Amino acid sequence: MPTVGVIGLGSMGMGIALSALRAGLPVRGFDVAPDRVEAFVAAGGQGGSLDAAGDLDIAVLVTVTAAQARDVLFGAGGLAAALPAGALVIACPTMSPDDARDLAVRAGEAGLLYLDAPISGGAAKATEGALTVMASGAGAAFAAAEPVLDAVAETVFRLGDAPGAAAAMKVVNQHLAGIHIASAAEAVVFGITQGIDPAKTLEVISRCAGTSWMFENRVPHIVAGDYAPLSAVDIFVKDLGIVLEAAGAAGFSPALAETAAAAFRAAQAEGLGREDDAAVAKVFARQAGVALPGAG
């Protein structure tokens, strides 16, 4: 039984840690916020600190950004120095393929295995152990990761042996997810300008060719006027930023992603960064001069 450390106990990391625990693995939880570690301990896990990680076989990084993952691994008192030789790093944050390749090279230089393993599915799926994992890395990294992947994932897409390939696929997913959240919000507002109640738009379009996974998942938030963050505006400012950076580095200007990114940045500038990403509808509603459900 490998000893597993989960670094970052946000909604996704907590779900992953709990799923690994439920599968019978010894799991230690790490977070900069003590209350997150306490919550995990209360649920039956163990707490820990990064500089005493010498007994971990697997470190699952569930930080928000690549910069945080880099700092956790290679910053002062970082994991890379504490982990035993041959331990496995499973890196889950959405990051550019270049960042994934860079982290993998540095982990290799430190004698560690590295699995590029971004995740999709949201907090509920994480807690159920039913995530979708896009993964790429060496065969030895996949083999070592198996107990964790079995515990947390419903579907694992094996995308080859090169770190960066999985990061690229996740970034393509975020390209679409970000555009589709924005298009759902724009459509609801457009409907209001045409006299259509948002609840009716949700009911009808969910069964027509205009639907999307994000439309069906996020429009209920708009209909309910509930912007408690399941995933925040700030996340899509970040993720579409990664999309635009990766595309730009390849000489491509994805116009739809740029337009969606501008809408999320506008929402952030209006102070909505910590609200649910469906709050991008508020930007469109203000532009259109219409009221959303629950507004004012």
Site residues for a second copy, 166-225, by CB under 8 A, read 168-169, 171-177, 179-180, 182-184, 186-187, 189-191, 193-196, 200-201, 203-205, 207-215, 217
The amino acid at residue 203 is E
The Cα-based distances of 127 to 12, 14, 106, 202, 255 in angstroms read 8, 7, 31, 27, 35
Residue 32: CB atoms within 10 Å: 13
CB 159 within 8 A of CB 166: yes
Q: How far is the CB of 92 from a second copy (least distance, A)?
A: 14
| Catalytic option among 170, 200, 238, 282 | 170
Among 57-65, 77-85, 100-108, 248-256, which window interacts with a second copy (CB under 8 A)?
Answer: 248-256
Does 257 participate in binding a second copy (rule CB under 8 A)? yes
Q: Name the DSSP class of 89.
A: E
Site residues for a second copy, 104-133, by CB under 8 A, read 120-122, 132
Does 284 participate in binding a second copy (rule CB under 8 A)? yes
Query: Residue 198 and residue 69: Cα distance in Å, rounded?
Result: 40
Axis-axis angle for helices 255-267, 280-288 (nearest 10): 90
The Cα-based distances of 163 to 48, 105, 156, 215, 240 in angstroms read 28, 9, 15, 31, 21
Tell me, yes or no, if 282 is annotated catalytic. no
Does 267 participate in binding a second copy (rule CB under 8 A)? no
Does 246 participate in binding a second copy (rule CB under 8 A)? yes
Query: Residue 133 and residue 11: Cα distance in Å, rounded?
Result: 16
Question: Among residues 200 and 274, whose Cβ is nearest to a second copy?
Answer: 200
Binding site for a second copy (CB under 8 A): 97, 120-122, 132, 134, 155, 157, 159, 165, 168-169, 171-177, 179-180, 182-184, 186-187, 189-191, 193-196, 200-201, 203-205, 207-215, 217, 243, 246-247, 250-260, 262-263, 284, 287-290
List, by residue number, the catalytic residues: 170
